[in-house]
Amino acid sequence: LFYAVLIYIFLVNHTDSVHIQLAWSYVVLRVMHSLIHLSSNNVSWRALVFGLSSICLVAMILRELIVLL
């Protein structure tokens, strides 16, 4: 879903600093999720980081939906 959203945002030329920050935040949080999984595997921390990354993705989608409406 992340790649599809990024491609859509790029193709419709809606790239701005907020989208770029959200995309990089998503990537960093997913890397953190993977590192937690590989090291301590603390499910509480993994769930928190996963939730935050999901919020970034949902924010990107909602911003595009608002533009469409």
Q: What is the pLDDT of residue 41?
A: 95
Q: What is the pLDDT of residue 34?
A: 97
Q: What is the pLDDT of residue 62?
A: 97
Q: What is the pLDDT of residue 22?
A: 98
**Tens-digit pLDDT profile for the chain (69 aa)?**
999 999 999 999 999 999 999 999 999 999 999 999 999 999 999 999 999 999 999 999 999 999 999
Tell me how far apart the alpha carbons of residues 34 and 10 are, in angstroms, rounded to a whole number.
26
Tokens representing 67?
């533009």
> What sign results for the dihedral spanned by CA atoms 43, 46, 52, 55?
negative
Residues in the chain: 69
